[in-house]
Each structure stands twice: as C-alpha cells, then as structure tokens.
Amino acid sequence: MKDAKILVVGSLNMDITATTHIFPAEGETVLGDRLSEAPGGKGLNQACQIGRLGGNVKMVGALGNDDSGKALVATLKASGVDTEDILIKDGVTTGTAIVLLEVDEKGNGANRIIVIPGANLLFNYEDIAFLEKMIKEFAIIILQLEIPMSVNEKIAALAKKNGIKVMLNPAPYAPLSDELLRDIDFLSPNEHELQALTGIDVRRDDGSYSKDKIKEAFMLLHARGLKALLITLGESGSVYIDEDKFLEVAAIKTIAVDTTAAGDSFVSSFSYRIAQGDDILKAMTFATKAAAYTVSHLGASSSLPRLADLD
C-alpha cells in the first residue's frame, strides 16, 4: 500500500564512538584515533531509515529533558520522522551508547557497544496508551529490545488485536515470552541473537550457514507460536523462513567500514517495503542494498541511505 504509515516504538541514544586500530585487551590502555558523537539508538535509526527512504513514519519512545534529547529530535525531524508524541522526561538522562570501533589496516571496522539506557527504560505502557486511539492508522509497527519488555508485549498485543503487522528486532538479546512470539508477524534476529534464543548455532566450521540448523531453529520458535523468521547473517546475507517458504538473499560485497546500524537499516527497510506492498523476496533484496550502504559508511543514523543513494 503506497504511503502506508509505519510506527516505530523504541530507543533513542546519543552514540559516542571511539575509533581505534585495536580494541584494548582486559587491563590494557590503547591510544585511539578519533572520538565522535552522533544520534543513534535502534529505534531512532530504524525510524530515520524509513523517513530517509520517503516513508510516512512516526516514532514513539522516551528522552531526557537535555541537550542530547534535543539533538536526537532534530535528527529525526530532519529525516522526516513524526516526533510529536515522543516523551520528554524530567529528571532523567537521554540514553547513551558507547561504541568502540576497531578499524583494521584494510579499512574494515568491527564494533562493540555498551548502552546506558537512561530514559529508554524509564517509561511504561500507560505513558503511551494514547496509541490505542491511533493504532489502526499504521500498516506495520517495528519494535526492538532497548525499551521495557512490558511495553513491547502490550504494543504487540494491541497490534495483533487490531490486525496490524509487527516486526520485532530482538536486539539486544533478552528472553521472549510465547505470547510475544505469537503476537508478532516477523522476528528478525542476527545469528548471535538467534543462538541465544534457541541454543542453535547456524554457522558451520567452514563459515557457511546450515539450512538445516536454520530450519531447526525456526521449528523451535514456530512451536512457541512464531510465524516467520528473518535472520541477518552479516557477510552471508539474510534468510527468511516461515511454514511455506525458505528464501535466501546474498549480501552485497563492500568494505564494512562500520557495521553499526546495519541491522537497523535492514529491518526497517524490509518493513517499509512490506508496508508498501512488496513480496518478501523483493523487500529482502531492497533491504540488502540499504544495509550494504550503511556498512560502507561511518556512524549509526549518519550512515543510513536516502532513496537516491541506493540508485
């Protein structure tokens, strides 16, 4: 459906990134190369991505009443996101993420992220129950796990009751209830989150992924009520599996300068294209392009492509 409205309920962080040529080992100090500060948070990245692609997107989450919060709202607005109902909480700080980015001599980056949630965890469903009145406006809702689980569970249940699709990006990992699995339409973990959720490692020793293991992981979650799994596999691309389909899309080869927000770009671009009426394979192919652009640029929200960047 063209112009379908999308809702992102999720986290907003100010990302502070320290770039280094080598991660410090335990007890070690290293000299880094660069320090930068830029908007991030899985929810914000996903909302900005959809806005930059030209989508009609609203973001709901919580910020502190501070300079970081104001900067995050400005970034969302500049990306075309509706920020009207974002909560501004007095006396708490906006979420912060400390990103350590190790860049090797070939320019490939690897990251490690610590999130200090601040306002992201300091709201509850009652704060956003106003969504009940407008829920039918949305074609799809995107959730992640940097906000209270009870908020995610209630929003997913509300969406299910009203026939609205839900995409859950289970990052960072947390155990999921059977009710939540039943209420969502798509679960999009990376392979590490999938392993934490199911105990199944889908990688073989030679670095390829095992279709049988993916099927096994899906069947475990399907038995608990899950309809569809969309797994991101980094350089190996992505796999979609439901009761009837098994679809694979290869990654686009690029120098992975910084993988921060690549998953956010993929999950939200996929959801956006599904809301626009694409079939699963078309949506995965589009999302693969968006994610490839993101990994080849530095930062979280700063690395997300506009539609013109993908041509």
Instruction: State the residues that interact with ligand RIB by CB under 6 A.
Output: 11, 13, 15, 40-42, 45, 97, 113, 115, 146, 260-261, 263-264, 300
- Residue 71 C-beta: closest distance to ligand RIB, Å: 13
Chain position carrying tokens 């689980």: 149
d(CA 73, CA 85): 11
Residue 261's closest CA among 5, 15, 34, 7? Answer: 15
**Least Å distance between CB 220 and ligand RIB?**
25
Which of 185, 212, 264, 279 does the annotation list as catalytic? 264
Q: Which is nearer to ligand RIB, 75 or 198 (CB)?
A: 75
264 a catalytic residue: yes
The residue number whose beta carbon is nearest to ligand RIB equals 40
- Where would I find the H helices in the chain? 42-52, 67-78, 131-134, 149-161, 178-183, 191-198, 211-223, 262-275, 280-295
- Residue 283's Cβ-side half-sphere holds a number of Cα atoms within 13 Å equal to 20
Smallest gap from residue 105 Cβ to ligand RIB (A): 25
Contact between 124 and 151 under an 8 Å Cβ cutoff? The reply is yes
Residue number with CB closer to ligand RIB (92 or 158) = 92
Closer of 96 and 288 to ligand RIB (Cβ)? 96
Min dist CB 192 to ligand RIB, Å, is: 13
Nearer of residues 232 and 276 to ligand RIB, judged by Cβ = 232
Query: Mind telling me the catalytic residues?
Result: 264
